[in-house]
Amino acid sequence: MALSTSPYARSKLFCYSLASEWPVWLRVFVGVGVVASLAACSTPDPNQRVTGSGGTLVKYSSAQVSVDLTATERNALAGMRDRSFVGASSERALTAVAAALKASGYAPVTVEADTALVEGGRSEVLVQKWRELVRGVLKARLGGLPAKPDHQYTAALVSVRPAVSGPGVIVRARFDNTVWDSNGDARTKTVLAREDYDAFFTKVDAALRGNAAPLRP
């Protein structure tokens, strides 16, 4: 006995049979269009700024994403980025900050005495070399491997200003971290780990107590 089918089911069967007769290139083209339409409907993160885009379905370039801090994160940063050093002069503080950054692996470190700013950068490899080689071989042969963090760069910007009252200075630090993945895409966000700021200020204090050599022009 033949089973009856509804008009909706018959129309679905007709569409499926019609699509199955399409050339392969046409089916791929339609499928790509459907996926692209779905991706376009996704809501972007308002705290992320894409400064470069390398495509979604077809990877033709790298993408760079900058993540802005939320109001809660800005408040958290405000509570960890400043440290007072009583009795220290601006010159001694700048010298100590530079010494602390160098001790933390930042190079080069530049000091601008006229603006009381210190800058430095630190590069780090996140995976072992042999893992990079194995992944490169697999990606070349198989393709489509998910991206993994590959290396990172941390930029330090430190300012020194006189204390509000009494002798001493206030040192303000900010660390911005950029991570590149195995596809070449980058993601930048301000470091919010309190232990990183505490460790830096501890080294600044140690440099001040150790009477670091003064800066030379």
Q: Which of 58-62, 86-90, 179-183, 199-203 has the lowest mean pLDDT?
A: 58-62
Highest mean pLDDT among 1-5, 24-28, 84-88: 84-88
pLDDT of residue 201: 97
Pairing of the two strands 149-162 and 117-125: antiparallel
pLDDT category at 152 given cuts 50, 70, 90 is very high
SS (H, E, C) 40-74: HCCCCCCCEEEEECCCCCCCCCCCEEEECCCHHHH
pLDDT of residue 23: 59
pLDDT of residue 62: 76
pLDDT of residue 210: 87
pLDDT of residue 143: 56
Long-range CB contact pairs, 76-83, < 8 A, 24+: 76/192, 77/174, 77/190, 77/192, 80/192, 80/194, 80/197, 80/198, 81/172, 81/173, 81/174, 81/197, 82/170, 82/171, 82/172, 83/170, 83/171, 83/173, 83/201, 83/204
pLDDT of residue 20: 54
Q: Give the Cα separation of 197 and 25 in Å (integer).
A: 55
Give the pair of three-digit tokens for residue 209: 């107590």
pLDDT of residue 136: 56
Q: Judge whether 171 and 160 are in contact, CB under 8 Å.
A: yes
- Does the model's pTM come out above 0.85? no
Highest mean pLDDT among 45-54, 128-137, 157-166: 157-166
Q: Judge whether 48 and 70 are in contact, CB under 8 Å.
A: no
* Residue 158 CA, distance from chain mean position: 19
Domain boundaries, the chain: 7-42, 64-209
Q: Judge whether 175 and 213 are in contact, CB under 8 Å.
A: no
pLDDT category at 35 given cuts 50, 70, 90 is very low
53-88 burial by CB neighbour count: b if 16+ within 10 A, else e? eeeeeeeeeebbbbeeeeeeeeeebeebbebebeeb
pLDDT category at 119 given cuts 50, 70, 90 is very high
CA angle 16–31–40, rounded 5-degree value: 130
